[in-house]
Structure 1
Amino acid sequence: MKLRHKAKTLNKKTYYNISTDRYYQSPTFFKKFLSCEAEAFAELQLNYKPDSDSTPLIVGNYLHSYFESSKAHQAFIDQHKSDIVTRSGTLRAPYQQAETMIDTLSSDKMFKKLYKGRKEVIVRGKINDIDWKGKIDCLNLERGYFIDLKTTRDINKKYWNNDEHSWESFVAAYNYQLQMYVYQQLIYQQYGVMCVPYIVAVTKEKVPAKAIISISDERLQEAEYQIDGVQEHIEDVRNGIVKPTRCEHCDYCKSTAILNDIVDMDDLIE
């Protein structure tokens, strides 16, 4: 079962459609497959839809649209008015917090100086002959950099990496370096400019913290090696050639699990 038939048109309306996700690989779905192949494959086949709170996503897009343009921001509010505004006409609590985050960034001189360029730029290209897509929050080709806006709970929070047996930052924990590597490559293929990636992070705290974060060449190379190492296998899974592996821990695996053995009490803890 081949997911790819013909190239899908990529624009603002189609970028998040499942049909383009089936044709193009993306950092979002690549990381989904790294997390659980079975869940990601079921989602692509429309056999499963993650049951998650949409509020954080809408809040994030609320912030993104503000820095895209006033027109885009108003259009986003109009589209999600019932989620954002109460019947009395006031902003719901999460969006009041988003306004605080927006104020934190928009009042910062360095951010205003840096966050200049084209906004929400869609890029496409190939990595190892596989079609990829990306969407750049802010692209400045003239100065040779791009920026991705991230909201997070705590910029300095530590996350434990079981594989490496060490603590790591939220950037590494969410594998944002992979996203930055992919975007860098797609921008270069489309425009011929090797841009430096930056993450602008702002927290969801009562008093938001902020930071401009660089991604080292070493981290970008790690992302390249990770893609090179597993992309062929992921493509085989995506195309139904190889059966997807279940993680047995995610919501999809738990919801589709079938009891077929008995577990010893001493084997419950991994």
Structure 2
Amino acid sequence: MELNKSNYFSLEADRHYMSNSQFKSFLPSYGGCEAQAMAKINGEYERPYNISFEVGHYVHAWNEGTLEEFKANNPNLYASTGKNAGQLKKDFQHANKMIEILENDPLVLKALAGQKEVIMTAELFGIPWKVMLDSYQPDTGMFADLKTSKEMGGKFWNTEIGVYENFIYHYGYTIQMAIYAEVEKRVTGRKEWLLPHMVVVTKQDPPDHEIIYFDYDVIEQSLHIVGKHIERVKAVKSGNVEPARCEKCDYCRLTKKINRIKHFSELSLY
């Protein structure tokens, strides 16, 4: 399947290719659920609209240089009733503040320079993968991914290993950067990875922002994590193994059927 910007996020593409987000959607450690992941791939479930994702798309459109086109094609960005009818909704007015923060930082603009929204595909772990690099600068030895985040502080409890971790580990951004670096390396045939960077801007008022880079050690460690889980993911996606239900996500709650009555004391176990 030949990928382009119009079909990159299509169901057909998701069925043919593995991606960073799809891989993590199978893993409970990253908030994933096998049953939900398969329901999405099969076109049986679509997550409800989330304005936070739309804010991310808005900021990405600015980075790509297509913000005006994005606004023209998405009338839902504007209030349709009340005294603010015809104006951008509050969330997107704030997104403009986030963009202004980025535009006024020379180092951010340097990190986000280069080719935009570059699509690449390669075989990893025996299956085809797809990636889209927000900003690609092979001549300077780097690529960058643009993230919008609620905040950069705080700590998150990892139930699998019993430790607190930062938002980078919690959302699996190390996994994403490693997959992107490995795919790019295989496509170009280069001997070493490009250095992944992440430009983060928060939704706080005023927004905070940061440029974060990832070293070769974390790329190796993260690819090892992918390798540890990929055979299970491949087996479930191919239909050879029944997907497990997490019984906690939106999809599992929506499709839940009670098969036994629980004693009240069991509720303390989850």
Q: TM (normalized to structure 1)? A: 0.92
SS of residue in 1 equivalent to 2:160: coil
Q: Counterpart of 1:17?
A: 10
Match of 1:264 in 2: 263
Per the alignment, residue 109 of structure 2 pairs with: 112
Show the counterpart of 2:196.
Answer: 197
CA separation in 1, counterparts of 2:202 and 2:252?
A: 31
Aligned-residue sequence identity (percent) comes to 32
- 2:140 partner SS: coil
User: Where does structure 1 lack aligned partners over 5 or more consecutive residues?
Assistant: 1-7
Query: Deviation of residue 262 (structure 1)?
Result: 2.0
1:44-193 to structure 2, matched below 5 A, reads 44-53=41-50, 55-69=51-65, 72-80=66-74, 82-87=75-80, 88-193=85-190
**Alpha-carbon distance between aligned partners in 2 of 1:191 and 1:214, rounded to the nearest angstrom:** 21
Question: Residue by residue, what CA displacement relative to the aligned partner does 1:171-196 show, whole Å, maximum 9, x if unpaired?
Answer: 11100111111100111112234210
Residue aligned with 2:56, SS: helix
Q: Secondary structure at the match of 1:266?
A: helix
Decide which moves more: 179-188 or 217-226.
217-226
Conserved? CA contact 2:142–2:197, under 8 Å: yes
Q: Using the alignment, how far apart are the partners of 1:24 and 1:97 within structure 2?
A: 35
Count how many residue pairs are aligned between Structure 1 and Structure 2: 259
RMSD: 1.3
Which structure 2 segments of 5+ residues have no match?
none
Alignment TM-score, normalising by the size of structure 2:
0.92
- For residues 33-91 of structure 1, the C-alpha deviation after alignment (integer angstroms, 9 at most, x for no partner) is 112111101111111112242x212211111111111xx222211110x2222344322
The structural deviation recorded for 1:221 is 2.3
SS of 1:137 mapped into structure 2: strand
C-alpha separation between the residues in 1 aligned to 2:68 and 2:186? Answer: 33
Taking the aligned partners of 1:58 and 1:196, their CA distance within structure 2 comes to: 28
- Alignment pair present for 1:212 and 2:206: no
SS for the counterpart of 2:7 is coil
